[in-house]
Amino acid sequence: MTMGLRVDVDSIADALAVPELLVLLEEFNSRATFFITTGPDQTLMNVSHYAGKNLLNIPLKRYIPGFFHSILHHNVESHPSLGILINSGHEIGLHGYRHYEWMNFLHKKNMMEVSNMIKTGCRLFENEFGFFPRSFSSPGFATSKEYLFALDNFGFDYSSDFYGFHPFYPQVGDKKFDTVQLPVRIPSPCELQSNETKIPGMIKELSEKDNFILYIHPSCELLYRRELLKDILESAGNTLTLREIYENTADL
Ligand SMILES: [Zn+2]
């Protein structure tokens, strides 16, 4: 039993930290799934979401380098530091389109509008990485019934859009959806903040009995919680891609 590591690339600041994160993962013989958002970097519009009410807890300097790079490289997925992921042994999946708009306004969109956003994301992703994405995760864990209907039309092998314990097929009323969900068990340490010191112990315990998923952002955990991230990787043993977790999923 082991941990699936999900790495969300939401912004240019995240993209910039990817090469350094790969070095650290190599050191721990760990694999991960990188979910890459597409479209322009709008992170600075979204800082209040990441920092919650404690804006001072997440240093603005986390975003400043990305801000300057975003002027040169308009879209997150086309940032040159992501090219290193191709043929790296890690998995690359699609993390929606226009992260800020998605996580804040998905609930107002109809199925056609959601479909169009996913379609655009797939096209930008394919242009950049040379293959159609096989896995998906919804920015900000935003979901709706319309989203789940739209998602099923793309035939992704799996999606990771919820917090939870075990893989499942979402159901709304009588409707059971076709895209299997691999939920995140442990939120990103930067989001847990005061409880983060408990994470390595929790991971050690979980690793002995279950498959589970933890998610991180390179621009936060790698740059501001490096020692904790090392403890996490150490406690988890060899982490896997979400695809490997998916392939080990017993029949649901
Ligand atoms: Zn995200």
Going from the Cα of 139 to the center of ligand 1, the distance in angstroms, rounded, reads: 4
Going from the Cα of 61 to the center of ligand 1, the distance in angstroms, rounded, reads: 19
pLDDT tens per residue, range 57-97: 555 666 666 666 556 667 999 999 999 999 999 999 999 99
Helix (H, G, I), strand (E, B) or coil at 58: coil
Going from the Cα of 142 to the center of ligand 1, the distance in angstroms, rounded, reads: 10
Estimate the crossing angle of helix 12-27 against helix 226-236, to 10 degrees.
50
What pLDDT, on a 0 to 100 scale, did the predictor assign at position 68? Answer: 60
Enumerate domains of the chain plus CATH numbers.
Answer: 3-247 (3.20.20.370)
Which regions of the chain are under pLDDT 50?
51-53
Going from the Cα of 248 to the center of ligand 1, the distance in angstroms, rounded, reads: 25
Going from the Cα of 35 to the center of ligand 1, the distance in angstroms, rounded, reads: 8
Entry pTM: 0.90
- Which has the closest alpha carbon to 31: 247, 208, 209? 247
Going from the Cα of 215 to the center of ligand 1, the distance in angstroms, rounded, reads: 10
Contact between residue 19 and residue 84 where contact means Cβ atoms under 8 Å apart: yes
Going from the Cα of 138 to the center of ligand 1, the distance in angstroms, rounded, reads: 7
